[in-house]
Amino acid sequence: MAKERRDRAPLDARTWPLVKRLWHDWVRVHWRRITASLVLMAVIAGATGAYPLVIDYAYDLFEARDPAIVTAILPLVVLVTLVKGGATYAQTVLVGAIVFRVIANIQKAMFAHLTAADLARLGREPTGRLISRFTNDTNIMRDAMTRVATGLVRDVLTVAALVGAMIYLDWALTLIVLVVYPLAALPVIAIGRRLRGTSADTQEHLGRTTAFLGESLAGARMVKTYGLEGYERARADGVFERLYRFTMRLVRGRAAVDPLLEVLGGVAIGGVIAFAGWRMTTGAADVGTFTGFISALLIAAQPVRAIATLNVVVQEGLAAVVRLYDLIDEPATIVDRPEAQPLAVSRGEIRFEAVRFSYGRGAAENGTDGEVVDALDAVDLEFEPGVTTALVGPSGAGKSTVLNLIPRLYDATGGRVTIDGQDVRDATLASLRSAMALVSQDVVLFDDTIRANIAFGRLDASGAEIRAAAEAAAAAEFIEALPQGYDTPVGDRGLTLSGGERQRVALARAVLRDAPILLLDEATSALDAESERKVQAALERLSAGRTTIVIAHRLATVRNAKRLYVLDQGRVAESGPHDTLVAAGGLYARLCRMQVFAA
């Protein structure tokens, strides 16, 4: 609860700066469309304000039994309705174009920010909660902007036109209405402020719900295998029940507005009828004026309610805008230094010089810095060009951390990592990462064709180069056997392919990249013996003249490495070739005997 209060506290203080920033960043560029929309709103308001005057005029013609009631009133009514209908259509389309363009641009900015964000930042928040920013939050913001654009200005102008008509018809009756209706503003504003905090809480829980659904559905295989359906249903019941409670808070707040306006509107209309009846009995007013005035009052009821309820929608929209800007404004820590230069790779020699790396555990859960965990402790490593070096060791020893520091997915917290004597932090990120290819045990394939997924290694590659890469990765045979060959869609996360096929497509992508540095994290873990033999042969050819770093749990993968580094608890426990380490009888030998490297 304390955290929620901290989140809510700055909302009122940030309202106007937030609105100004939203206008400056995303809205004002559409000023021509906004101007046209304002003109259309004025036309709509004028046409609406003309209705009670037409009614008053028609009643006068009725009383006088004037034949113009047929020849004048019908064309006049048709003209007013045509003008209002046409202007309403054009204004709605125009506002929609503005709002949806603003939302699309904000979504683009958020996605661009996330693609440039640090890996550590992406790992702090579940993917579902990030997705919720793009869907739930932007939908609320879109609704608020649409209501403001089509409602606030148009309804205010409409009410102003109707008030003008009422003053023209009977200024004394108008005073009664203007005294009663503003009394609704104070409770409605209070309700809106309370709902802003409730909306922020609801959107936060919607993000958690989305994250839960993604996590649970992705783990369906494990859930069914372990018979956890009941457990997952219980978790889902809790998640949806909390979402229900948050949503009902919004419903109760929103539901209070209309009855409040209904009561005050009834008081206003009752007072007008009573006062008008008294005036007509004294001869100070006529029935035609009263009829036109009541028509104006009834027509004004809808835009007045819309203006009152708009505050609730705006408060919810502002809460969403805060969350969106909180995401966009997050600074990245791994960026190009001001003096960064393109990396010049001559030999591809990589060195770790007293490298330390620590990360916080628990920060995402409790909003604090969390526990500091040392992943590497003053590690010295040397990866020679043109040869394969393997990293082995028990789980959590720091192997993947070593790989992550080379392309600066994380930055070392001590010491330095160099490539051909150049500190990787002094090189531009684009040049650094273009010098290496990564194949991980967690294969990432996009919902596209096999051809496109291989081509991600080098987007300008020709068809022949893509096929050659597939052959080198022992993937060509199974690809060409598919009905659509290289144009076969791989499905969501590549699930239409087997694990070994996905791994070979990912390896073909790395082959196509033709980078001087190869990073292989369990690259052959999903391959059968025959495919692994083919891929190993391809990797031996590919590794010539390149720095290749391999993390593997299979003996066959690391046996022929020139040097092995055995890591344990963030330190180098042993190093040397396979035979030497086995003969030494240390940690590596124990791991081999325990069949850690078994296929």
The domain that holds 550 is classified in CATH as: 3.40.50.300
Residue 381's pLDDT band (boundaries 50, 70, 90)?
very high
Q: Exposed (0-12), middle (13-18) or buried (19+): which is 229, by Cβ within 10 Å?
A: exposed
Above pLDDT 70, what percent of the chain?
Answer: 71
- Are 258 and 179 in a shared domain? yes
- Are 264 and 323 in a shared domain? yes
- Look over the chain and give the mean of its residue pLDDT values, rounded to a whole number: 77
Instruction: Output the domain CATH number for residue 292.
Output: 1.20.1560.10
Give a yes or no: residue 216 inside a domain: yes
Ordered DSSP codes for 234-267: HHHHHHHHHHHHHHHHHHHHHHTHHHHHHHHHHH
Give a yes or no: residue 310 inside a domain: yes
Give a yes or no: residue 389 inside a domain: yes
Mean pLDDT of 167-190: 68
- Are 297 and 237 in a shared domain? yes
pLDDT of residue 341: 92
* C-alpha to C-alpha distances, 406 to 241, 399, 410, 416, nearest whole angstrom: 45, 12, 8, 10
- Are 548 and 496 in a shared domain? no
- Are 142 and 203 in a shared domain? yes
* Residue that finishes a domain, picked among 461, 493, 514: 514
- Are 213 and 319 in a shared domain? yes
Strands 350-361 and 414-419: antiparallel
- Are 307 and 426 in a shared domain? no
* Residue that finishes a domain, picked among 283, 302, 328: 328
Cα–Cα distance between 550 and 566 in angstroms, integer? 12
Is the confidence at residue 389, as pLDDT, over 80? yes
Give a yes or no: residue 333 inside a domain: no
Give a yes or no: residue 344 inside a domain: yes
Is the confidence at residue 145, as pLDDT, over 60? yes
pLDDT in tens, 548-598: 898 876 666 677 788 899 999 889 999 998 888 888 988 888 888 775 443
Which tops the pLDDT comparison, 544 or 466? 466
- Are 158 and 301 in a shared domain? yes
Give a yes or no: residue 530 inside a domain: no
pLDDT of residue 355: 93
Ordered DSSP codes for 84-130: HHHHHHHHHHHHHHHHHHHHHHHHHHHHHHHHHS-HHHHHHS-HHHH
The number of distinct structural domains making up the chain is 3
- Are 461 and 478 in a shared domain? yes
Contacts of 360 (CB under 8 A, 6+ apart): 369, 370, 371, 372, 373
Give the global pTM: 0.69
Contacts of 348 (CB under 8 A, 6+ apart): 385, 386, 419, 420, 435, 516, 517, 546, 547
Give a yes or no: residue 384 inside a domain: yes
* Domain extent at residue 431: 340-435+517-524+543-599
Give a yes or no: residue 189 inside a domain: yes
pLDDT in tens, 70-97: 567 777 888 888 888 888 888 888 888 8
- Are 25 and 124 in a shared domain? yes
Mean pLDDT of 453-467: 88
389 closest CA partner among 577, 569, 527: 577
pLDDT of residue 45: 81
- Are 275 and 388 in a shared domain? no
- Are 593 and 480 in a shared domain? no
Cα angle, residue 195 at apex, residues 192 and 199 outer, rounded to 5°: 135
